[in-house]
Every structure is written in structure tokens, then in C-alpha cells.
Amino acid sequence: MQGIEELAHAKVNLFLRVLRRHQDGFHEIETLMAPITLCDSLELESSNAFEFRCDEPGLAGDDNLVIRAARLFFSETNRAPKVRLTLRKEIPHGAGLGGGSSDAAAALRGLNRFFNAGLSSEKLRTLGAQLGSDVSFFVNETTATCSGRGEIVKPASLRLPLSLLLLKSEFGVLSSWAYSRWQATREAAGEIYQSQKFGDITFVNDLERPVFEKFVFLAEVKSWLLKQPEVGAALMSGSGSTIFAILRSNVDGDLVAKRAKSELDSELWSCVCDTL
């Protein structure tokens, strides 16, 4: 079979509620996630053996979720692992955008297609849940509410695509660290943490408080965005460190990004994109 390409789209959490912490250390959540046009790409080609390449050498180790997804796929299907996977990254690491989980889901989808294995979407989601809480969501890449640890996925819809501006500092935030600092007894005091209504969505993220208390600059980015006339709402995605803005109609997001870099940090990473 000739080579194929599978896109791995990033996501944003339009709301994220942390409900409780279980004894096993995992947290029960409820979240609305939407895939966005920002994406990595995974190329699959025939090979005499299994190969994995990544254009970010630091992500090419055996612990990469793409490799783990491939091992799981070959174990499930008993196919000979004769394929070369080449991952090209656009989604930043430690950003709360789900890049690693999306790459894993793209590997499952792509291998299923490449080898004509015939695994159903439901089966792929079950396999994905073994790799990480968000992987099941990324299998279908459609807006969904996710609950439990994130593996219970129910399709949802947005009335219209949302225009977004993503801003990320040079540092990342580990999801495990952010969740470990969450406490159900701590109320999210302060105006910056209050829910925001824009359109038919209420934007709120329960992980903002523990993250902002350590990474004060992220709170500054959100506060700055909320003051811009082009912005309808602003929120941290997942466990950070990306802060995204919902842009109003007919707004040039690149101009807002340029202003942010001028007034906040010239090294900010930015991306203007849309929900799918």
C-alpha cells in the first residue's frame, strides 16, 4: 500500500469541571472539548520493519504515545508491524491542547486504515482509553462532552464554528502536576476565575486557580485578553499553559496576537485557528 497521511487535530476545553478525586489518584471530570484546525500530521508508509520518526527529536523515544498506540494496535490485530510512521509536530508540548493524545488517536486511525484492519470506531475508542483519558475523544475528532476520567465521550455540537486565538508562553504545564494541586474544598475566588457566558457556552476551568497561583504570567495573559475589545471570552485550555480567546466576528486575530507579543512577551507562541 502506498503511503497515507492522518491528521491529528488539537483541542480546546470550552469548559472543564473537576468533580472529585478518587482513591486511585484519578480525578472525575466533566468537560466540553472541541477539535480545532491546528494539527500535527502522521505519515504511514510501507517498510520492512517498524520505524518511528519525529521532527522533534526529543519526542522520538519509546514512551511516545504513537509508539504505544502502534504496539497496542499490532497486539490487537496480529498484523506484522511493517510500517514507517513519521510524525510532524505543530501542536506545542505541555500546552493543554492534547497533542500527544491526538497523535495516539491518529496512529490508531491511520494504522487501521493502512492495514485495512476493519476495527470499529467503538473498538478504537476502547483501545484509546488504555493509552490516556483524552485519546478516546480524539478518535472521532468531533466536539463532545467527556466525563469520568475523560474516557466517556458523548457527541455534542456547536451552533457555529468559533474563531480562536491561542497564546502560549515558553514553558509548559504537566497535567499530573495541575490535577495534583486541585482541591475540591478550595473555592475559585476572584473575578478572573468566574464563568463567562458567550453565545450558548459557559466558559470556566477549575484548574486555572492552582495553575495561575504558580504560573502568574498565565493569569496576566488571560486578564489582558479579557480587556481586548475583539475578545468575547478567554480561558485556559485543559491544564495549560495555553490561554485561548474566543474572537468576535470579523476580527483579525493576527493583529491581536501581534499586540499581545508587544505588550506581554515578544516570545509568546500564537496561533489563529477555528473549531472544526
Q: Which residues belong to the active site?
A: 11, 134
How far apart CA 234 and CA 247 sit, in angstroms, is 9
DSSP H or E segment with residue 38? strand 27-46
SS3 content of the chain, % helix, strand, coil (to 5): 30, 35, 35
CA 197 – CA 219 distance, rounded (Å): 19
Name the grid cell of 169.
508562553
Continuous H helices in the chain = 65-77, 99-114, 121-129, 135-140, 175-180, 208-214, 216-226, 253-263
Angle at 49 between CA 46 and CA 50, to 5 degrees: 85
CA distance 176 to 193: 21
Q: Which three cell numbers stand for residue 49?
A: 520493519
